[in-house]
Amino acid sequence: MLDRLPFPAPALRTIEDPTDGESDLLIVGVTEGGVREGGTHPSVLGRVDIDGRGWLDRCFSRGAFAGKLGETLLVANPATQGPAMVLLVGLGAGHGSRGDAFRAAATGIRRVTDRPRKRVDIALAESFPSSCHDAIVSGAMHGCEGQAIYQTDASIHVPETLAFVGIEDKAIRRGRTIGDAVNRTRRWVNEPASVIYPETFATEAREVAEEAGLEVEVWDEKRLEAEGCRAILAVGAGSTKPPRLVILRHRGGGDEPPLAIVGKGVTFDSGGLSIKPGDGMKDMKCDMAGAATVLGVMQAIAKLGIKKNVIGLCGLAENMISGESYKLGDVIETRSGTTVEILNTDAEGRVVLADVLDVAVQQQPCAIVDLATLTGACLVALGTEVAGLMTNDTELGRAVRGASDAEGEPVWELPMFELYDELIKGKVADIKNVGEGRWGGAITAAKFLERFVAEVPWVHIDIAGPAFADSPKPHRDAGATGVMVRSLIRWVEG
Ligand code: BES
Ligand code: MN
Ligand code: ZN
């Protein structure tokens, strides 16, 4: 459906010798220790340096480059052979984690997409253990995607070929699959709400399913009605764009119970009758980032052939204003039977997820992880770079945390003490869709969700902060980040 390709994917291949003269540019990682006298350089740098008779070492000793994390230095290679240009990427202390590998590659590529280039060689592999090599590949792909998808003159010039020095084909294939999943997730989020709305998201899901080999089911408004998904329907009622529920299935684990991943897919959040001010509304096309993450993860799981059963569920609705909108004081009997009092139509994500989680529980999964741009309060608590994690199961929380730590996508746990339960007690119905005032808003939202997961081990990840960025960084553009796609793939695999 999104056949317009603002940033075409580069061809990827492996090479042994980056000094063969075919490459426009060579990207090399250098640690702070490598810059200091007596430090060791990657061997590939030595080869370039020898050709240039020590010019790079002179740059280092004059302080032109320190090797700090995220630092770059683009220099012309004075040698008459080999790559014409060399980009040094700082690796800091050089701990060699997957997160660092991903960022170093993304930073390097972003620095050199300012103009068209035929072949860019990436010689980061020897700075990292082989367990990080696929992250170099997906990081490089990440650097080729951005938010300016409607600019007439492309702001990112994707190199025709990315050649990875010393990375095996297998790691390239894996890195490509994961990088593509992350970039597609970003693209869905970056598309405006006039392009991605519940029906078109469902069409995307069908196409992904077809391409990757997933089973797919789409519930339209009639089916949602028949299934008792009154909460999803209530949130979508104010929009001319009807809601949808997308269910994707990957069968790789025989008779084992499935894992379920659930995403909030509010394709635009105006706040509804509790309308947002313009400043709070302008980026609300991003409010389906959870659902986009689920779709990206499911695509990757299928393509990687992971030997697990996984169900992905995306709850899709547009939160708008009309004579049909759901109202303050409305009581909704959710699919599970729990009744909800609506006291703020801008707390719509939890209302949508109430029904989606109930559908997930019915599939008898052994674990549920949900992803949602759920609360501004989570941004207040943890800032823009860190996701909030809340759980009813310590073990599962630890497993998800382990995966996100390994991928360098920070999450931090917020408590789920029982004492918060009374903050969402309803006066008219069982529960209300807001807490008492603003305090603890990320937690009261999670407490609401907890009421719909029954006894199933469950983790809720609030990605309101890291899903969509205001400003760019060396390793990524502003806009959609694709956060948690890599972590969830790892969690499912592990
Ligand atoms: N989609 C928003 C949360 C959000 C805020 C996501 C900023 C990304 C960036 C959510 O639906 C919302 O509006 N939450 C309200 C809840 C409140 C009314 C209880 C909020 O956080 O203000
Ligand atoms: Mn809202
Ligand atoms: Zn929302």
Across 441-453, average pLDDT: 98
Question: Is the distance from CB of 338 to CB of 316 less than 8 angstroms?
Answer: no
| Mean pLDDT for all residues in the chain | 96
Residues noted as catalytic? 276, 350
Across 45-66, average pLDDT: 84
Q: Which of 291, 265, 292, 259 is nearest to 491 (CA)?
A: 259
pLDDT digits (tens, 9 = 90+) for 98-130: 999 999 999 999 999 999 999 999 999 999 999
> In this predicted structure, which of 56-60, 152-156, 257-261, 456-460 has the lowest mean pLDDT?
56-60
Please, is 426 exposed, middle or buried when counting C-beta atoms within 10 Å of its C-beta (0-12, 13-18, 19+)? middle
Ligand 1 neighbour 384 (Cβ under 6 A): no
The ligand 1 atom at the shortest distance from the C-alpha of residue 377 is: 21
Q: Whose CA is nearest to atom 13 of ligand 1?
A: 346
> In this predicted structure, which of 17-26, 280-289, 423-432 has the lowest mean pLDDT?
17-26
The H-assigned helical ranges of 79-159 are 98-112, 133-142
Q: Which of 279, 425, 456, 300 is nearest to 363 (CA)?
A: 456
Q: Would you say residue 348 has pLDDT above 90?
A: yes
In percent, the amount of the chain with pLDDT more than 90 equals 89
Q: Name the DSSP class of 188.
A: H
Distance 346 CA to ligand 2 centre (A): 4
The ligand 1 atom at the shortest distance from the C-alpha of residue 344 is: 18
The pLDDT of residue 38: 65
pLDDT digits (tens, 9 = 90+) for 476-494: 999 999 999 999 999 999 9
Distance 347 CA to ligand 2 centre (A): 5
Ligand nearest to the CA of 267: 3
> In this predicted structure, which of 35-44, 129-138, 335-344 has the lowest mean pLDDT?
35-44
Global pTM reads 0.98
- Please state, in angstroms and rounded to a whole number, the distance separating the CA atoms of residues 299 and 178: 9
The pLDDT of residue 216: 98
Q: Would you say residue 82 has pLDDT above 90?
A: no
pLDDT digits (tens, 9 = 90+) for 179-219: 999 999 999 999 999 999 999 999 999 999 999 999 999 99
Distance 346 CA to ligand 1 centre (A): 7
Q: Would you say residue 389 has pLDDT above 80?
A: yes
Compute, in degrees rounded to 10, the torsion defined by CA atoms 494, 91, 163, 178.
30
Residue with tokens 């684990």: 253
Ligand 1 neighbour 344 (Cβ under 6 A): yes
Ligand 1 neighbour 433 (Cβ under 6 A): no
Question: Is the distance from CB of 456 to CB of 361 less than 8 angstroms?
Answer: yes
The pLDDT of residue 121: 96
Distance 216 CA to ligand 1 centre (A): 29
In percent, the amount of the chain with pLDDT more than 70 equals 99
Q: Would you say residue 53 has pLDDT above 90?
A: no
The H-assigned helical ranges of 149-220 are 169-190, 198-212
Across 263-267, average pLDDT: 99
The pLDDT of residue 40: 75
Q: Name the DSSP class of 20.
A: S
The pLDDT of residue 52: 75
The pLDDT of residue 95: 87
Ligand 1 neighbour 196 (Cβ under 6 A): no
Confidence of residue 22 (pLDDT cuts 50, 70, 90): confident
Distance 429 CA to ligand 1 centre (A): 22
- Please state, in angstroms and rounded to a whole number, the distance separating the CA atoms of residues 91 and 70: 7
The ligand 1 atom at the shortest distance from the C-alpha of residue 266 is: 1
3-state secondary structure of 383: coil
Confidence of residue 48 (pLDDT cuts 50, 70, 90): confident
Pocket test for ligand 1, best of 235, 279, 374 (most atoms within 8 A of CB): 374
The pLDDT of residue 209: 98
The pLDDT of residue 345: 98
Ligand 1 neighbour 442 (Cβ under 6 A): no
pLDDT digits (tens, 9 = 90+) for 373-382: 999 999 999 9
